[in-house]
Structure formats: structure tokens, C-alpha cells
């Protein structure tokens, strides 16, 4: 740890005193950066993900150009279904599709959960290379998709607003759903532990579609697997859980072995603090669409957000990924506003 020049993120996750909150942005290495678009026009998506040199270059862009306090490895949550033996196609502008979906026990039995390190070696190589290139400037974040979110894609076969098929699968065949969730959990734990070994200082678990579940169903199909991952991986590195749209689970999750919880903009900072009794670091929750407002307004809103959370036990971030239409100088203004914050 001592070789990190900027360890604000790790200190915030350990609930140590910081002079200002750390800041990074979900999807910070991506479509709003002109240099990323150049690489996107040259190489297809999975070539970028699976070529460590390209993934490293993309991971470093926001550190060099926007000044964030952490790098997050350029990858995708759907590398897990790929490692498990499913084909994943990615069409620019259209999102992912899985030609073969999970319908029956035989489909689940056919899934591979062994040798995560071997199947996902390209991610681990990208982490090691990025770690070297960063030379201790900022911490490096690894990540994976949460079991419920991965199940959604595996059953639905593509993105959805409502995830009807995935929910029907869970509600009509709960035993199959739990068997699938457990398989995803097992390989994800191995994968995240391998990421830490390869150089990740902390890891985040993205449960992007957790908010499609009712509080009761979240407790059944999402929470137990998030907690399993946090319990297993937190022995190796701090874990941040980000189940989007599930403010109702904050109390339970704040008692977990996770070090941080990401929240979106559907809850006030004050209420999030109240629900978690300030016993876990919170991350969020700026609406990315607000980055399209004039710069002075962005800076004002950021200050109000930090005032709301309090500067300690807090990581400034967005409530979801940055969108492609955000001007780079607006992203910079967000980061600068956090860096200018005075306690």
C-alpha cells in the first residue's frame, strides 16, 4: 500500500480520515473520450477487452485526461458468461446479445465454473500491465457483474427494460434460478480473487438490474449472492457493492463484509446515511445527465452532494455510468469540484 502516491480511495474504504473525498466515475474509460472513440473505430469491442495493451491504454485515459483518483480496468461484466461457455455478441450502439440462453437444468449443467484464471487471463494480464503503467499514481479497481444481473442476460439473451423472462424464470423455476445463481457466484469469487492477485487494489460488484426486483425478491435472488461474494473476497481486498435501484436494501448491506456501497440518485445522501447508520463508506450518487448542465452549475451541485454525504466515509461518483454525450470538460469539472472541496 505504501507505494501508492494517492491512496484516498483505499483510505475512504477503510474509513480512515481523508482531507477530501476521492472521486472516480463509472464508465470513466469510454465513449465520451475522443481518444477512446479512435480506438473503438479501429478495433471491435471484444478485441479491445481481450487485448491487454488496448485495455490498459483505455483504462489509463481518464486518469491522464480527467484526473480521477482511481483507475477501473476496461473490461465488461459479460466476460463471465463467456468464460462459462456462452457466446456473447456485442454490436456497437445496440448492446450485448447471447444467441443461446439458459432454459433448463441441462443448460446449467453444461456451464463451466472451473479455471476462471485461465479463461479470463486477458483481464488479469491487463490488470498487471495497468498496475505497472500506473506506477502507484492511483489505486486500480477490478470488477465483475453480480449474479442476478448476469442471470438476467443469460436467461433473457439481451438487454431489457423489464427483465420479464429472467423474472419468470426465477419465479416459476426457483430451484433452477438458485442453481444458476450459485454457479455464477462460484466463478465470480474465483475471478475477483484472481483480479486482486493480478493487481486490483479493490473490486466492485455491479448489480445493474437488481432494481428490477421487489425488496422481498431482492432478498431472495440477489442479496444472498452479493453477501457470499463480499464475504469471500473481502479477505483479499475491499469490496464495493453497487446494486442499482435498491435503496431498500441499504440497511442489510451496510452490515455486510463489504467496505463500500454504491448508490444511485433515487435516494438522498442524508437518507442513505441514516439507513446505513454511517457504518459503511457510501459511493455516488450524481445523476450523469446533470453533467450536461453548465459547468458552474455542476460544481455547485457537486458541493451540495458532498455536503449531503459528509466528506468522510464517502467516495464521490456518479449514480450510474457516464453517458457518451457528456463533454470532456464537464467530466473534468465534476472531478475538479471534488478536488476543490474543503472540509
- What separation, in Å, do the N-terminal and C-terminal C-alpha atoms of the chain show? 25
Nearest to 152 by CA among 231, 79, 247, 221: 221
- Which helix (H) or strand (E) segment holds residue 71: the answer is strand 71-72
Domain ranges, ordered by start, for the chain: 8-339
Positive or negative: CA dihedral 290, 259, 81, 56: positive
- Residues annotated within the binding site for substrate are 27-31, 46, 76, 153, 208, 320
pLDDT tens per residue, the chain (343 residues)? 448 999 999 999 999 999 999 999 999 999 999 999 999 999 999 999 999 999 999 999 999 999 999 999 999 999 999 999 999 999 878 899 999 999 999 999 999 999 999 999 999 999 999 999 999 999 999 999 999 999 999 999 999 999 999 999 999 999 999 999 999 999 999 999 999 999 999 999 999 999 999 999 999 999 999 999 999 999 999 999 999 999 999 999 999 999 999 999 999 999 999 999 999 999 999 999 999 999 999 999 999 999 999 999 999 999 999 999 999 999 999 999 999 999 8
- Residues annotated within the binding site are 27-31, 46, 76, 153, 208, 320
List the catalytic residue out of 32, 36, 153, 341. 153
- Which helix (H) or strand (E) segment holds residue 115: the answer is none
Query: Is 76 an active-site residue?
Result: yes
Angular region, 172: left φ>0, alpha ψ -120 to 50, beta rest: alpha
Query: Is 14 an active-site residue?
Result: no
pLDDT at 251: 98
What pTM was estimated for this model as a whole? 0.98
Query: Is 31 an active-site residue?
Result: yes
Query: Is 27 an active-site residue?
Result: yes
List the catalytic residue out of 7, 11, 20, 27. 27
List the catalytic residue out of 14, 31, 43, 248. 31
Decide the pairing of beta strands 140-145 and 260-262.
unpaired
Using CA atoms, how far apart are residues 208 and 62, in angstroms rounded to an integer? 22
Which residue, chain included where needed, has cell 440497511? 251
pLDDT at 1: 44
pLDDT at 93: 80
pLDDT at 3: 86
Angular region, 154: left φ>0, alpha ψ -120 to 50, beta rest: alpha
pLDDT at 222: 98
SS3 call for 42: helix
Using CA atoms, how far apart are residues 144 and 76, in angstroms rounded to an integer? 8
CATH of domain 8-339: 3.20.20.210
SS3 call for 87: coil
Report residue 60 as a C-alpha cell.
489509463
SS3 call for 142: strand
Using CA atoms, how far apart are residues 42 and 133, in angstroms rounded to an integer? 23
List the catalytic residue out of 20, 32, 48, 76. 76
Nearest to 307 by CA among 335, 279, 273: 273
Amino acid at each position: 500500500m505504501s507505494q501508492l502516491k494517492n491512496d484516498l480511495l483505499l483510505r475512504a474504504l477503510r474509513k480512515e480520515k481523508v482531507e477530501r473525498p476521492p472521486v472516480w466515475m463509472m464508465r470513466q474509460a469510454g465513449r465520451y473520450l475522443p481518444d477512446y472513440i479512435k480506438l473503438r473505430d479501429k478495433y471491435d469491442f471484444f478485441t479491445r477487452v481481450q487485448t491487454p495493451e488496448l485495455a490498459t491504454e483505455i483504462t489509463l485515459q481518464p486518469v491522464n485526461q480527467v484526473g480521477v483518483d482511481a483507475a477501473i480496468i476496461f473490461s465488461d461484466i459479460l466476460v463471465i458468461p463467456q468464460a462459462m461457455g456462452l457466446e456473447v455478441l456485442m454490436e456497437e450502439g445496440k448492446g450485448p446479445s447471447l444467441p443461446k440462453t439458459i432454459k433448463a437444468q441441462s443448460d446449467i449443467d453444461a456451464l463451466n465454473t472451473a479455471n476462471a484464471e485461465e479463461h479470463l487471463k486477458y483481464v488479469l494480464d491487463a490488470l498487471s500491465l495497468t498496475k505497472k503503467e500506473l506506477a502507484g499514481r492511483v489505486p486500480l479497481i477490478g470488477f465483475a457483474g453480480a449474479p442476478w444481473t448476469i442471470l438476467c442476460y443469460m436467461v433473457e439473451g439481451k438487454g431489457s427494460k423489464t427483465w420479464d423472462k429472467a423474472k419468470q424464470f426465477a419465479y416459476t423455476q426457483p430451484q433452477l434460478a438458485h442453481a444458476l445463481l450459485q454457479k455464477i457466484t462460484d466463478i465470480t469469487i474465483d475471478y475477483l480473487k484472481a483480479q486482486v492477485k493480478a493487481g486490483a487494489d479493490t473490486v466492485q460488484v455491479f448489480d445493474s438490474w437488481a432494481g428490477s426486483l421487489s425488496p422481498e425478491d431482492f432478498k431472495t435472488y440477489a442479496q444472498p449472492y452479493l453477501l457470499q461474494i463480499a464475504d469471500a473476497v473481502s479477505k483479499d481486498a475491499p469490496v464495493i457493492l453497487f446494486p442499482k435501484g435498491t435503496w431498500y436494501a441499504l440497511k442489510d448491506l451496510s452490515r455486510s463484509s463489504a467496505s463500500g456501497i454504491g448508490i444511485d440518485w433515487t435516494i438522498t445522501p442524508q437518507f442513505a446515511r441514516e439507513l446505513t447508520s454511517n457504518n459503511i463508506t457510501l459511493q455516488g450518487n450524481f445523476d450523469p445527465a446533470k453533467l450536461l448542465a453548465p459547468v458552474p452549475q455542476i460544481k455547485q451541485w457537486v458541493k451540495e452532494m458532498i455536503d449531503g454525504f459528509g466528506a468522510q466515509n464517502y467516495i464521490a461518483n456518479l449514480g450510474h455510468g457516464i453517458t457518451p454525450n457528456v463533454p470532456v470538460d464537464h467530466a473534468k469539472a465534476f472531478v475538479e469540484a471534488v478536488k476543490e472541496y474543503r472540509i
